[in-house]
Structure 1
Amino acid sequence: MITQAIMDGLINGGIIGLGAIGVTLTYSILRFANFGHGELLSWGAYVALSLSAALGAMLPSLSTPIGPFSFGWSVPIALIGSMVLTALLALTVDWLLFGRLRRSGSAIIILVMASFGAALALRNLLEFIFTSKPAYFTNALQISKPLFGGMRATPDQLLVLGLAFITVVLVHLLLTRTPAGRAMRAVSENAQLASLTGIDVRNVIRLVWVLGAALAAVAGVMSGLLVQIRPTMGLDLLLPLFAASILGGIGSVPGAMLAGLIVGLAEALTIQVIGAEWRAAVAFVILVAVLLLRPNGLFGKATA
């Protein structure tokens, strides 16, 4: 049914929107498209899976499902740890690769190609450590419950959708109501001018990596919780992430989330109306259409 496709699209769109926030912030601050961002989703999911399994082995009571959900307290605790460790991974990659290229004055295309190499290395390392066999946070089965208008959803799906909206609101408040957020917006407008006013651009760059990686970890855990965890999950989401970040407008957090919902709905409706084999093409069509018709996106600023 179309109504159920709408619900599925909103849930998938929430995950896409969270990942797209990291993409749009990285592009607006560092001025390059980081094609390795999808791998941060994968690493975040696998790190959380490892931490959750370790916690469950040490304290079996943490694996007992919480209320109507399919997971125990080991998953939320592991999510926090995954956000921290994924942020450290992003900082390490920046220190080893992107930071050196920036200091040497490398062209933007060099940074973009380096992100391709970093993505390939991270993906293969992940597959080497965990193999390509799909993994799951839990084997518990959930029965979807009726909502309204013919829609159905499991408790896990509703939690993911609610958590996505809460997270984007918190990030928006961070960027608009805190000194750190104002510094990030200043660097996004003009890094040299921001530096002259006393803003530490290097610290802002580190904050962007930390924030983007932490959100990627949340999106990866959400996707792994609802579907499955595999080394290529970030690669599969990469095109929808870029489509959402461009459609929403570079640098706009609410725009990235709204665009993520649009992309998710478009994919779900395509599966319902045309077929699942065309799902991957939807994000590409949206991306091309936005670049042709509205390059600044929904909430992007026009450039001179």
Structure 2
Amino acid sequence: MHEFLQHFLNGIISGSVLALPARGLTLMFSVLGFANFAFAAHATLGAVAGYLVNVTLGWPVPACLLVAVLAAGAAGIVSDAVALRGLRRMRRTDAAMMVAIASIALNMALESAVRFVYGNDHRSFDLPLMRDVTIAGFQVSQQQAINLGYAVAMLLLLFGFFGFTRAGKAMRAVADNPDLARLKGISGEKVALAVTFVGMGLAGAGGMLLALETSVDPLVGSRILLMVFAASVVGGLTSIPGAVAGALLIGVAQELSLLVISPTYSSAVGFIAIAFTLTLRPQGLFGRKG
């Protein structure tokens, strides 16, 4: 029982970190109408940007996290303008599929660019050595606890942003009913720009938090690609809050799977979750039909 609860706790922590890029992906899908798979490369860009200012300038982790968000968000706006915006504006029934495929190609191009500039080395943030802590008999690394704090703080900020700011309400309005939002004078292009920045910024934050626990390399984002997509599908690709619930479920499921299977095969949890969700409830747990 103790081992089960330990894995459950680890799953809650990893799921909280996973919730950041998952919420970003769901936000972009809800507003833009397609799954932007280039979020994986932007997660890598965020991790690399945070690492560089940490190692070269000695900035603390909170400042590096802000840099990761800004760098990934800015890169998202530029890459969307260069590679995806023209396809998004096409009046074709298969436009969403075309943009999604183009985003996969964009992801590969950006990862190759990072590999060319940064190299293939695995590097670590310049952080003090931390010991594991034991709370009520459960062992948690200090970095895990800190990452949980960062993730929860950012999720609370997002809750406030979407609930109480004009920009956040505009994004929700476009996600819920784009035609009604247009009639109310909300600019779809401005919202799309803001959504791309926020969504990719969240990917950058998630990539950096993952890199704090593991390492910084050109495939940081690819390591979470499947699980982030699974979290979004399970929660509902049209439900922004559902992404958080989906991420927690996927995080816990992946950790609990380690009780019965090798860590090598734990990524299969994502495939299984997607298959079950699409079979039993295609709109996800919190998504709307249609």
Q: TM-score range by the shorter chain?
A: over 0.9
1:64 alignment counterpart: none
Residue among 134, 139, 142 paired with 1:155:
142
Q: What is the aligned partner in structure 2 of residue 63 from structure 1? A: none
SS class of match (1:253): coil
Deviation at 1:129, TM superposition (A): 1.0
**Structure 2 counterpart of 1:241:** 228
**How many corresponding residue pairs?**
286
The AA in structure 2 aligned to 1:165 is V
- Determine which of 127, 130, 135 is the counterpart of 1:142: 130
Q: Structure 2, unaligned stretches of length 5 or more?
A: none
Matched, 1:130 2:121: no
Aligned position for 1:260 = 247
Question: Is residue 109 of structure 2 the alignment partner of residue 121 of structure 1?
Answer: yes
Residue from 275, 283, 287 that aligns with 1:296: 283
Question: Aligned partners of 2:80, 2:112: CA distance in 1, in Å?
Answer: 18
**Structure 1, residues 16-50: CA drift from partner, whole Å, max 9, x if none?**
11110011011111111111111111110001111
1:46 aligns with 2:54: no
**CA displacement at 1:182 relative to structure 2:** 1.9
Taking a change above 3 Å as real, the CA distance of residues 127 and 198 of structure 1, as seen in their structure-2 partners, is same
Work out whether 1:78 is the aligned partner of 2:64: yes
Whichever residue aligns with residue 27 of structure 1, its letter is F
**Structure 1 length-normalised TM:** 0.89
Which among 173, 191, 195 is matched to residue 178 of structure 2?
Answer: 191
The offset of 1:139, in angstroms, is: 6.1
Q: Name whichever of 103-112 and 10-19 sits farther off.
A: 103-112
Which residue does the alignment assign to 1:88? 74
Give the aligned CA root-mean-square deviation in angstroms. Answer: 1.6
Structure 1: gaps spanning 5 or more residues: 57-72
Letter paired with 2:72: T
Range moving further from structure 2, 83-92 or 171-180: 171-180
Question: 1:140 deviation in Å?
Answer: 4.2
Distance in 1 (CA, whole Å) between partners of 2:28 and 2:179 is 17
Moved more, 98-107 or 154-163: 98-107
Q: CA deviation at 1:265?
A: 1.0
Superposition deviation, residue 177 in structure 1: 2.2
Structure 2 letter corresponding to 1:50: L
* Kept after mapping to 1: 8 A contact 2:30/2:240: no
Distance 1:158 1:291, change over 3 A: same
Counterpart-to-counterpart distance in 2, 1:236 and 1:78: 21
> Per the alignment, in what secondary structure is the counterpart of residue 35 of structure 2?
coil
Give the 4+ runs in structure 1 shifted more than 6 A: none
Aligned identity (percent) is 33
